[in-house]
Amino acid sequence: MPYSRFLQPLALCLAVQGLSSAALAQPQSHPQYNAVYGDNLMMLDQGWDDEERDRFYHEPQGSPIMPYDWFLILEQAGSTDLFRSNDHLQSFGLITAAAPSARNPAALPIGLTKDLGLYPNEYKLGMNCGACHTSEVSYQGKQVLIDGGAAHFDFWSFMAALDAALLQTWEDDDKFKRFADQLLEGDSDEDTADQLRARLRGVLRERQDWSFRNATHVVPGPGRVDALNVILNQVTAMMLNRPDNARPSDAPVSYPFVWDAPYLDYVQYNAVVPNEGPGAIGRNVGQVLGVFGEVSMVPSTLPPGYASSVRTDHLLILESALETLVSPTWEEMAQKGILPPLDRAKVARGKAVYDKACSDCHQVIDRRDRGELASIKVKTLALSDIGTDPVASLNFTDREVETGPLLGRKTDFLEGEPLCERTHADQILAHVTVGTMMHDLGVTGGPILGTLGSSLMSDAAGAMKSLFDHALHGSHKQESDQAVIARMAAAGKSEAEIAATLAERSGDRTALYTLLVEDGMDRHGENRHCLEVLEHAVYRSRPLNGVWATGPFLHNGSVPSIADLLLPAEKRPATFQVGSRELDPVRVGFENAERPGTMMYDTRIKGNSNAGHVYGTSLPEKDKAALLEFIKTL
């Protein structure tokens, strides 16, 4: 079952609903963030209050990177300054906060969390949605936080610097002594210090292995990551212990803005993740698996599935928050004196241009009334039609991997055809995601089921709960169910006989056990190739409300402004600077100037092409200017 089949997040609406101009002109008070930036920091009316923001910024999702206490005292490579210092973390594009909160006791930047791993024996540094989907923009000295926006976070440089800091702490005796003295509070003998150093080596090796798996010649830079390859590398190479399954992360894409995401029928730039039914939580579980999530690939029978670090209950909270998030408006920023006001005559002319030239792919929606979840139909375009850089889409559709320890297990975990020796990578991701969700359903009592009502899980939920309750309150079995399956199968017993034995052990005679027995038997599947042909490689379009605050443009961030996007491909900038937070209200993008923290983007590198999407390139200049003005109203 490919991932694409199982999972997968206006007219002239120029004014913010329910707020007067006088009210809009007054900056809201946000002491947590003003402590860093002063009174220049502003937030917009995007449907969230401070509690909802804090949750999105710091709710843990089960993505352990390293021990939390270690991160708080870790020094930078080549310095005695703390890695976590605000100046240092801001250099990677993270948005820092000086004041702590209950979720963020150490006042770490947006997107860094106090988390737990698969074995919750200590707190871990984690990362959540907020790191990549919260942006800061500025104009003439005024900063604005935009929730759900495309962050300027340079994730790749952050991870490289973290590796370097851990390596130097392990290698340098003086640095290690300072680290150990703080961590052990000066109360350590030589043996304790040696044990700590050995554990530090283990954590360092994990981080270095991650970097090696995802090595690439295409530097992502600020605001980009090859998310799908990172996820697939984590699941198919690391979790399956098949290093040869790894592929270079050579197709970085811009962090997408996530307002309206729950209302789109498909998400991801290549439209591989449906949002209906369990798709929304499934895509979030898949995302955590790729962002340092931990999974035990040894299947359990009670409850069935794969134990993991994924905190599904927290993901449901975060997904629910996205349902109330709305896009920012230029008008609100203009009324607050941040951006210049709109030219109404140009807006009217631009709307006519947009309706004719753009609306077929980029429908205009009401930013506050978006209808039912997953109801906005996105349009997909074949690579030959849109002409943009194909690498990101082809990397996904063309990727084949060895199934390794999953050989013979059911594609849908509890049902479906056995996995073969080789298959598409997305099929492995779907299998592991379903297994993780099934295990969570049995352990937690069913937040997935209660929220989504998946038909697959509905059929098994009652049986799973009964089995789990019996395991908790009944007698302890000295032999595991999997051991019984293996022993009886080796003795030539039939599936029916094995099922009856297991049912007697559990006191539960349900169809679920039949599924589990079949699963256990079928893991001895044939060594064969059964590659399913995936859908044609495509990219998808979406509504553009708020897009003016999210440059650079195209899926790979290869065009610095919308004005440049309206040029023929050969006239677009071949190189430009990325990483600036300063808006360019004329060209509708960000300032293209070399500054500390910016990086040169080179469109001549494979994966970075700025070709394609040549719609509107032949418009008269007057129409182009009017179109830009209208896009600011979205």
Closest by alpha carbon to 347, among 627, 10, 16, 13? 627
pLDDT tier, 35 (very low <50, low <70, confident <90, very high otherwise) = low
**Cα–Cα dist 491/526, whole Å:** 20
Quick one: average pLDDT of 539-566? 98
pLDDT tier, 11 (very low <50, low <70, confident <90, very high otherwise) = very low
pLDDT recorded at residue 485: 74
Quick one: average pLDDT of 21-44? 54
Reply yes or no on whether the pLDDT at 1 is more than 50.
no
pLDDT tier, 6 (very low <50, low <70, confident <90, very high otherwise) = very low
pLDDT recorded at residue 460: 42
Quick one: average pLDDT of 318-324? 92
**Cα–Cα dist 595/578, whole Å:** 10
pLDDT recorded at residue 276: 77
Reply yes or no on whether the pLDDT at 616 is more than 80.
yes
Query: Which one is predicted more confidently, 16 or 554?
Result: 554
Residues 66-104: pLDDT tens digits? 999 999 999 999 999 999 999 999 999 999 986 898 999
Closest by alpha carbon to 260, among 152, 180, 155, 365? 365
pLDDT recorded at residue 37: 54
Report the percentage of the chain scoring pLDDT > 70.
Answer: 80
Closest by alpha carbon to 81, among 146, 165, 171? 165
Quick one: average pLDDT of 412-420? 83
pLDDT recorded at residue 518: 43
Quick one: average pLDDT of 318-335? 95
Query: Which one is predicted more confidently, 358 or 314?
Result: 358
DSSP E strand boundaries for 394-500: 400-402, 422-424
pLDDT recorded at residue 491: 78
Domain boundary assignment for the chain: 1-347+355-544
Reply yes or no on whether the pLDDT at 529 is more than 80.
no
**Cα–Cα dist 368/377, whole Å:** 17
Reply yes or no on whether the pLDDT at 32 is more than 70.
no
pLDDT tier, 34 (very low <50, low <70, confident <90, very high otherwise) = low
**Cα–Cα dist 408/410, whole Å:** 6
**Cα–Cα dist 117/247, whole Å:** 25
